[in-house]
């Protein structure tokens, strides 16, 4: 019982440090100048932004994700597993109160997520292109997150695994602002700029045939 309290406290400290790091990262990017586009809008920016954050992420929407659908779906499962693992972390003091059905779903998602995560390391090692691109940070970040997801699964089955889960969670949270996991911060900016720039030019997010319906001049 005592070790659970101690490790939980460590995890909370890790979470706070991680959040501080995230806030600092957000402050840093917000300090950068924002390049306003002065050209006349051709498309529907709102539609394009909606597309960028929704349908644009579907596996069939891009040639790259159609070709590499297995890697992409693996990534999605891993990320869903990670989000559910964070959820498990947040409700971990009240594990016994989680309805059985919810617990079962969380177990399934985290189990699949953990397998998908560890498989990612294997894919990185196996495929030449990704291996050449990969940094030690990539392997460590994926391993740490996969371990976190695997331990989330474990604590749902065996609460005795809580101390290990908390220690790994603390490490993970502290590491977020320093390594590749911080892409979770920049993702929202990047997708926003993607939708905005291609939407401005009418490249994505079109709902109808523009030429035949919109007056060009």
What is the contact surface with another protein in residues (CB under 8 A)? 28-30, 32-40, 42-43, 52, 57, 62-65, 67-68, 71-72, 75, 127-130, 132-138, 178-180, 182-183, 185-187, 189-191, 193-195, 197-198, 201-204, 209-212, 216-217
Per DSSP, 34 falls in state P
The answer to whether the CB of 86 falls within 8 A of the CB of 139 is: no
Residue with smaller CB distance to another protein, 105 or 183: 183
For the chain, how big is the Rg over CA atoms in Å?
Answer: 21
Three-class SS state of 177: coil
CA atoms within 13 A on the CB side of 72: 13
CB of 217 to another protein, least distance (A): 7
CB of 180 to another protein, least distance (A): 6
Three-class SS state of 202: coil
Residue with smaller CB distance to another protein, 79 or 98: 79
CB of 103 to another protein, least distance (A): 30
CB of 50 to another protein, least distance (A): 14
First vs last C-alpha separation in the chain:
73
């Amino acid at each position: 019982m005592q070790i659970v309290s101690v490790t939980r406290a460590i995890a909370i400290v890790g979470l706070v440090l991680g959040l501080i790091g995230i806030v600092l990262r957000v402050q840093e990017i917000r300090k950068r100048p924002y390049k306003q586009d002065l050209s006349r809008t051709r498309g529907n920016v709102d539609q394009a932004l909606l597309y960028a954050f929704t349908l644009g992420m579907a596996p069939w929407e891009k040639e790259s994700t159609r070709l590499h659908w297995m890697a992409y779906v693996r990534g999605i499962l891993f990320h869903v597993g990670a989000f559910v693992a964070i959820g498990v972390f947040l409700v971990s003091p009240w594990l016994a109160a989680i309805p059985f059905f919810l617990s079962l779903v969380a177990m399934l998602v985290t189990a699949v997520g953990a397998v998908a995560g560890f498989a990612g390391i294997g894919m990185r090692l196996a495929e030449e292109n990704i291996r050449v691109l990969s940094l030690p940070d990539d392997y460590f970040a994926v391993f740490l997150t996969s371990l976190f997801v695997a331990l989330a699964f474990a604590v749902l089955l065996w609460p005795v695994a809580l101390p290990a889960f908390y220690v790994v969670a603390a490490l993970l949270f502290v590491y977020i602002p320093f390594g590749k996991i911080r892409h979770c911060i920049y993702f929202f900016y990047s997708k926003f700029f993607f939708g905005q720039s291609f939407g401005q030019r009418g490249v994505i997010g079109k709902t109808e045939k523009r030429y035949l319906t919109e007056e060009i001049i």
